[in-house]
Chain A
Amino acid sequence: MGSISLKNVKKSFGEVQIIPDISLDIKDGEFVVFVGPSGCGKSTLLRLIAGLEDTTAGTILLDGEDMTKAPPARRGLAMVFQSYALYPHMTVRDNIAFPLKMAKASKEEIDKKVEYAARTLNLSSYLDRRPRALSGGQRQRVAIGRAIVREPKAFLFDEPLSNLDAALRVNMRLEITELHQQLKTTMIYVTHDQVEAMTMADRIVVLNAGNVEQFGSPLDLYKKPANRFVAGFIGSPKMNFVDGPEAAKHNAHSIGVRPEHFKLSKTAEAGTWKGKVGVAEQLGSDTFLHVHVDGLGLMTIRTDGDQTFSHGDDVYLTPDQTRIYRFDAAGKAI
C-alpha cells in the first residue's frame, strides 16, 4: 500500500516562504509527476515527503498514518537522487544490499533480493564493480535497484534523468515507466521537463512558486489547462498567447492557440492573421515556423514536414476556432 496525503503543508526557510499551502492526495499505485520551472518548490516538496526536511506546518499522511514528524528511516519510502548518491566505497552488490542490511535482513534474503533486483535491472554482471567503474545509466540503475529491494510504500525520484545524455534519457524514461507497470508501487517523480511529465505520469502536479497550479491527468492538462501558466508550461512547442483587441473579440483578456492548432495558407482568407516567416526549424516529420504576425508578435506554428518555407515568405494563419483557449485578467481559464 502506498497512499500519500498532504494536508495544508507549508514550508519556509527563515523568512523565505517556499511552499505557502499545499494539499494533495496521491492514490496507491499512482505515478505522479511534480513538474514546474526551477525554484518552484517541487524538490522541496519531495524532500518534505521523504522526511529530509521538516514541514513548517501541516500534516503528511502515509497510508493514513501521520508521518509528519517521523525520521526518513522510519517512513518506508525509497528515494533516487539526481546525483544517484551511490556509496562510492561499496560494490554494486553492497550498495543494493545496504537498505536490507540496515533492516537486519538475513543473509539468504539479502542475496535473493539483490540477485532479483540485479536481474530485473540488467546489472548481474556488474555486481562486484564499484560505482565509479559504471556508466551514468548503470549508476542510475544501481540507484533504482537500491530503492527496489526495500519494497517501499512509494518511490521518490528527484530529477533522476537530468545527468544523462538525451538518448539515454529516453531509454531510462521507458524503463522507469515499465518498472512502474511491473511493480504497481506508488511513484512520485520530480522533473522540470514537461515531456517526461507528459509521457510518464498517471497524474501531473504543475507547481509554480510553491503553489499547485493544476493536478490532473496529462491529457486533462493539455486539453483543459486551468490557467495561463499551465497552458504555457504543458505542450511543446509552447502555446502562443495574444492580448488586446484580438482577444477582446473572443470576450477574453487574453487567448492562447497551440502551434499545432493553426491552418496555414499562402493566400488571404477571412479571419486570418497575416505574417512573415522568420526561422523555420525543419525536423523532417514536422516543421516549426516562427512567424512574425502583423500587430501580434512572434508565433510558433507547427506544420507537417512536406511543405517548405523560406525566410521572408508571406503566410496567413487561421486558428482552429474550437481550440482557442480563453483567459481572464487573472490568467484563469474561462
Chain B
Amino acid sequence: MATAQTRTLSRIMMAPAVIVLLIWMIVPLVMTLWFSFQNYSLINPMMTGFAGWANYLYVIGDPSFTQSLVNTLILVGGVLAITVIGGTFLALLLDQPIWGQGILRIIVISPFFVMPPVAALIWKNGFMHPGYGMLGHLWKFFGLQPVDWFNQYPLFSVIVIVAWQWLPFATLILLTALQSLSEEQREAAEMDGANAINRFYYIILPHMARSITIVILIQTIFLLGIFAEIRVTTGGGPGYASTNIAFLVFRTGILSNDIGAGSAGGVVAVVIANVVAFFLMRAVGKNLDA
C-alpha cells in the first residue's frame, strides 16, 4: 500500500543496513571456510597450502573436541534446566499477591545486568573460593571441609554462574507472559472447579508455552557462545574439563595460533548454531505480521 516512489525510497533507506549486515555475514564466514581448508599456522609460517579435510579431521579427531562438544551440551542443557524450571517457579511466586512486588522485580532482574566477567569473578573469589569464599564459610559453619569448586567441579561451577545470570531473564519473560493471562480466564477456571494444580496444568502452562519456547531458544543462542565466564574462572581447565566449543576455538586459533584448525572449529560452531537458529526463526517468525 504505497507508491512506487515510497518503495524506491524504502529500498534506499534499507540499503545501508542490508549492505553492512551482508558484508558482516559473508566476508568473515567465507574466510573462515577458506582458512579451514588451509594449512595456516602463525607459529609455523612455512607450512602453507591446501589442507583438504585435514583441519576438520584434526579438530574432530582430537579427544578435546569430543569433550568440548559434550561440555557445551551439558553447559547449555544444565543452564536451561535450571533457568526454565526455576524461572517458571519464581515467576509463579512473583505473580502471587505479595508486598513489594515492584521492588522484588527489580531485585530479581539485577543479576542479568552484571557483565559476565564481573559475575564470574564475584562467584570465583567471593563465593566459591575454598579459603575465603562465602560458601567456604558456610561449609565450615556446618563443620564440613570447604570445597575447591573450580578444581573439583569446574563445569558445574561454570553452570552455576551462568544460570545465576540467566535465571532473571527467564523469570522476567515468563512473569510478563503470566501477567498477560486474563484474570477472567483464571476466574472462569476457578468457577469450573479447577484446583491450583489443574489450573497450572491446563490454563497457565499452555498459556506460557510459547514464551518458554522463546526463552529456551534465545538462551541457547547466547549459551552456545559462553566465553568470558570460562576465560576468567577456569581458563577451560583443568585440562579440558570446562572447555566448550567456543573456548576451544579461541584456544586453538588465538592462543595456539593454528588458524586452520581454529577455523575448522569455527565452522563446526556455526553449523551447530544454525540448527538452533532454524527453530528460533520459526518460533519468532510466526509472531511477525509483516
Contacts and interface: CB of A to CB of B under 8 A. Distances in A.
Same complex: yes
Interface of A: 13, 51-54, 71
3 nearest A-B residue pairs (beta carbon): A54-B3, A54-B4, A71-B5
Contacts of B2: 52-53
Nearest to A70: B5
Contacts of B4: 54
B1 interface: yes
Contacts, number: 11
Interface string B1-37: 1111100000000000000000000000000000000
Given A54-B4, A71-B3, 9 more contacts: A13-B1, A51-B3, A52-B2, A52-B3, A53-B1, A53-B2, A53-B3, A54-B3, A71-B5
- SS class, residues of chain A in contact with chain B: loop
6 contacts: A51-B3, A52-B2, A52-B3, A53-B1, A71-B3, A71-B5
A13 to B, nearest CB: 8
Nearest to A13: B1
A51 B4 CA distance: 11
Interface centre among B1, B3, B4, B5 (most CB of A within 10 A): B3
Contacts of A71: 3, 5
A13 B1 CA distance: 8
Nearest to B9: A71
Nearest to A44: B1
A51 B5 CA distance: 10
A262 B137 CA distance: 102
Nearest to B1: A53
Contacts of A53: 1-3
Contacts of A13: 1
B203 to A, nearest CB: 37
B12 to A, nearest CB: 15
A197 B35 CA distance: 73
Contacts of B3: 51-54, 71
Contacts of A51: 3
A47 B227 CA distance: 55
Nearest to A53: B3
A322 B3 CA distance: 51
B11 to A, nearest CB: 15
Nearest to A55: B3
A71 B3 CA distance: 8
A47 to B, nearest CB: 9
A71 B1 CA distance: 14
Contacts of A52: 2-3
A53 B4 CA distance: 8
Nearest to A71: B5
A53 B2 CA distance: 5
